[in-house]
Amino acid sequence: MITGRFFAPGADRRIAITIFVLLAAAIIVPLLNLAVSPASAFYIPPYMVALTGKYLCYALLALSLDLVWGYCGILSLGHGAFFALGGYAMGMYLMRQIGSRGVYGNPVLPDFMVFLNYKELPWFWHGFDHFWFAALMVLAVPGLLAFVFGWFAFRSRVTGVYLSIITQAMTYALLLAFFRNDMGFGGNNGLTDFKDILGFNVQADATRSALFAASAVTLALAVFVTWAIVGSKYGKLLMAVRDAESRTRFLGWRAENVKLFAFTVSAVMAGIAGALYVPQVGIINPGEFEPSNSIEVVIWAAVGGRGTIVGPIIGALLVNAGKSWFTGVLPELWLFALGGLFVAVTLLLPKGIVGMWDSWRGNAGTPRAVPLADKAHTGAGLVSATSKPARSPARNPGEWSWSDPEPQAAE
Amino acid sequence: MKIFHAMGLTLLLILATLSSSGAAEADLRAIIAKFATVTDFSQTGAVVQELAATSDRAVERPLAALADGNLYIRMADSMVFIGKEGDENVQLFDPLSGEAAGEASPDDLTQIGVNNTLRRTIRDALGTLTLGSKDPTVRIAAADTMFKTPDAANIQPLDVAIAGETVASVKALLEQARAASILVSDQPYADKLAAIAVIGARGDRNAVSLLTFVEANASGDVKEAATAAIASINSTLAIWDAGQNIWYGISLGSVLLLAAIGLAITFGVMGVINMAHGEMVMLGAYTTFVVQQVIRTSFPGLFDWSLIIALPLAFLVAAFVGLVIERGIIRFLYGRPLETLLATWGVSLILQQAVRSIFGPTNQEVGNPSWMSGSFAIGQLAITWNRLWILVFALTVFAVLLYLMKRTSWGLRMRAVTANRRMAASMGIRTPWVDALTFALGSGIAGIAGVALSQIDNVSPNLGRGYIIDSFMVVVFGGVGNLWGTLVGAFSLGIVNKFLEPYAGAVLGKIVVLVLIILFIQKRPRGLFALKGRAVEA
Amino acid sequence: MRGNFSTITKMVSASVVAAGLMMSAPARAADDTIKVGILHSLSGTMAISETTLKDAMLMLIDEQNAKGGLLGKKLEAVVVDPASNWPLFAEKARELISKDHVAAVFGCWTSVSRKSVLPVFSELDNILFYPVQYEGEESERNVFYTGAAPNQQAIPAVDYLMSKDGGSVKRWVLEGTDYVYPRTTNKILEAYLKSKGVPAEDIMVNYTPFGFSDWQTEVSAIKKFGSAGKKTAVVSTVNGDANVPFYKELGNQGIKAEDIPVMAFSVGEEELAGLDTKPLVGHLAAWNYFESVNTPENKKFIADWHKFIKNNKRTTNDPMEAHYIGFNMWVKAVEKAGTTDPDKVIDAMIGVSVPNLTGGYATMMPNHHITKPVLIGEIQANGQFQTVSKTPGLVMGDEWSDYLPDSKDLISDWRAPLSCGNFNVKTGKCGGKGTN
Q: Which of A398-402, B291-295, C101-105 has the lowest mean pLDDT?
A: A398-402
Q: With respect to residue B535, please indicate whether it lies within any of the assigned structural domains.
A: no
Residues B94 and B172 in one domain: no
Residues B354 and B462 in one domain: yes
Distances (CA, A) of C332 to A5, C64, C354: 62, 11, 8
- SS3 for C396? strand
The yes or no reply on domain C28-149+295-372 and CATH 1.10.230.10 is no
* Residues paired with C237 in a beta bridge: C176
B422 pLDDT exceeds 60? yes
Partners of B329 on chain A (C-beta within 8 Å) are 343, 346-347
For chain A positions 80-109, those within 8 Å of chain C (CB to CB) are 100-107
For chain C positions 244-283, those within 8 Å of chain B (CB to CB) are 244-245, 248-249, 251-254, 257-259, 261, 270-271, 273-276, 279, 281-282
Distance, in Å, from the CA atom of C383 to the CA atom of C269, rounded to the nearest integer, reads 7
- Residue B362: which of A240, C315, A204, C346 has the closest Cα? C315
Distance from CA of B285 to the nearest CA of A (A): 21
B87 pLDDT exceeds 80? no
CATH topology identical between C28-149+295-372 and C154-264: yes
Q: Looking at chain C, which subunits does it touch, using at least 3 CB pairs closer than 8 Å as the criterion?
A: A, B
First-last CA distance in chain B: 87
For residues B146 and B154, the answer to whether their CB atoms sit within 8 Å is: yes
Output the domain CATH number for residue B315: 1.10.3470
Number of folded domains in chain B? 3
The residue-averaged pLDDT of A351-365 equals: 77
C1 pLDDT exceeds 60? no
Residues B383 and B493 in one domain: yes
CB atoms within 10 A of CB C11: 17
Sign of the CA dihedral with C322 first, then C324, C326, and C332 last = negative
B358 reaches A (C-beta below 8 A) = no
pLDDT range class, residue A392, cuts 50, 70, 90:
very low
Distance from CA of B237 to the nearest CA of C (A): 10
Residues B311 and B276 in one domain: yes
Q: Which CATH number fits domain C154-264: 3.40.630.10, 1.25.40.10, 3.90.76.10, 3.40.50.2300?
A: 3.40.50.2300
Distance, in Å, from the CA atom of C96 to the CA atom of C91, rounded to the nearest integer, reads 9
What are the domain boundaries of chain C?
Answer: 28-149+295-372, 154-264, 405-436
Q: Mark yes or no for CB contact A105/C424 under 8 Å.
A: yes
Distance, in Å, from the CA atom of C213 to the CA atom of B363, rounded to the nearest integer, reads 14
Distances (CA, A) of B346 to B276, B341, B359, C46: 8, 9, 20, 20
**Better-predicted residue by pLDDT, C364 or B210:** C364
Distance, in Å, from the CA atom of A228 to the CA atom of B530, rounded to the nearest integer, reads 40
For residue B267, give the DSSP letter.
Answer: I
Beta strand residue intervals within B86-210, DSSP E: 90-93, 100-104, 109-111
In chain A, what's the furthest Cα-to-Cα distance? 74
Q: What is the pLDDT of residues A104-137, one digit of tens each?
A: 888 888 888 887 778 889 999 999 999 999 999 9
User: What is the predicted pLDDT for the residue at C290?
Assistant: 94
Q: What is the pLDDT of residues B268-309, one digit of tens each?
A: 888 888 999 999 999 999 999 999 999 988 888 888 899 999
Q: What is the pLDDT of residues A246-262, one digit of tens each?
A: 899 999 999 999 999 99
Distance from CA of C282 to the nearest CA of B (A): 6
User: What is the predicted pLDDT for the residue at C24?
Assistant: 41
B360 pLDDT exceeds 50? yes
User: What is the predicted pLDDT for the residue at A370?
Assistant: 43
B536 pLDDT exceeds 70? no
Mark out the alpha helices in B367-482 (DSSP H runs). Answer: 385-407, 409-419, 421-426, 431-453, 465-478
For residue B266, give the DSSP letter.
Answer: I
A11 pLDDT exceeds 80? no
User: What is the predicted pLDDT for the residue at C84?
Assistant: 86
**Better-predicted residue by pLDDT, B177 or B324:** B324
Q: With respect to residue B259, please indicate whether it lies within any of the assigned structural domains.
A: yes
Residues B293 and B202 in one domain: no
For residue C35, give the DSSP letter.
Answer: E
Of the partner residues C42, C52, C217, the one whose CB lies closest to the CB of residue B498 = C217
Q: Mark yes or no for CB contact A47/C87 under 8 Å.
A: no
Share of residues in chain A with pLDDT > 90 (%): 47
Best residue in B87, B112, B458, B463 for a mutation probing chain C (most C CBs within 10 Å): B458
Q: With respect to residue B76, please indicate whether it lies within any of the assigned structural domains.
A: yes
Does residue C44 come out as left (phi exceeding 0), alpha (psi in the -120 to 50 range) or beta? left
User: What is the predicted pLDDT for the residue at C248?
Assistant: 85
Distance, in Å, from the CA atom of A34 to the CA atom of B208, rounded to the nearest integer, reads 74
Counted across chains A and C, CB pairs separated by less than 8 A come out at 183
For residues C237 and C150, the answer to whether their CB atoms sit within 8 Å is: no
For chain B positions 468-527, those within 8 Å of chain A (CB to CB) are 469, 472-473, 476, 480-481, 507-508, 510-511, 514-515, 517-519, 521-523, 525-527
B7 pLDDT exceeds 80? no
Counted across chains B and C, CB pairs separated by less than 8 A come out at 156
Domain termination site, one of B218, B250, B273: B218
Distance from CA of B425 to the nearest CA of A (A): 11
Q: With respect to residue B533, please indicate whether it lies within any of the assigned structural domains.
A: no
For residues B463 and C274, the answer to whether their CB atoms sit within 8 Å is: no
| pTM for the full predicted model | 0.86
C324 pLDDT exceeds 50? yes
Total residues found in chain A within this entry: 411
Q: What is the pLDDT of residues A270-306, one digit of tens each?
A: 999 999 999 999 899 999 999 989 999 998 998 898 8
Share of residues in chain B with pLDDT > 70 (%): 94
A389 reaches C (C-beta below 8 A) = no
Q: Looking at chain A, which subunits does it touch, using at least 3 CB pairs closer than 8 Å as the criterion?
A: B, C
- Residue A71: which of A239, A207, A287 has the closest Cα? A239
Partners of B429 on chain A (C-beta within 8 Å) are none
CB atoms within 10 A of CB C65: 16
Distance from CA of A101 to the nearest CA of C (A): 7
**Better-predicted residue by pLDDT, B217 or A89:** A89
User: What is the predicted pLDDT for the residue at C319?
Assistant: 95
Q: Mark yes or no for CB contact C380/B361 under 8 Å.
A: no
Distance, in Å, from the CA atom of B227 to the CA atom of B230, rounded to the nearest integer, reads 5
Of the partner residues C178, C241, C271, the one whose CB lies closest to the CB of residue B507 = C178
C28 pLDDT exceeds 80? no
Q: What is the dihedral of CA C327, C333, C337, C340, to 10 degrees?
A: -20
- SS3 for B384? strand
A50 reaches C (C-beta below 8 A) = yes
Exposure of B501 in the CB half-sphere (CA atoms within 13 A): 28
- SS3 for C255? coil
C337 pLDDT exceeds 90? yes
- Residue B366: which of B296, B435, B265, B266 has the closest Cα? B296
pLDDT range class, residue A399, cuts 50, 70, 90:
very low
Q: What is the pLDDT of residues B105-117, one digit of tens each?
A: 877 888 888 888 8
For residues C64 and C33, the answer to whether their CB atoms sit within 8 Å is: no
Residues B39 and B112 in one domain: yes
Q: Mark yes or no for CB contact A179/B507 under 8 Å.
A: yes
Residue B187, domain extent: 133-218
User: What is the predicted pLDDT for the residue at A411?
Assistant: 29
Q: Which residue of A has its CA nearest to B424?
A: A397
User: What is the predicted pLDDT for the residue at B532?
Assistant: 61
Complex-level ipTM? 0.82
What are the domain boundaries of chain A?
Answer: 7-373
Residues B312 and B415 in one domain: yes
Q: Mark yes or no for CB contact B271/A404 under 8 Å.
A: yes
Distance from CA of B325 to the nearest CA of C (A): 23
Residues B155 and B17 in one domain: no
Share of residues in chain B with pLDDT > 90 (%): 27
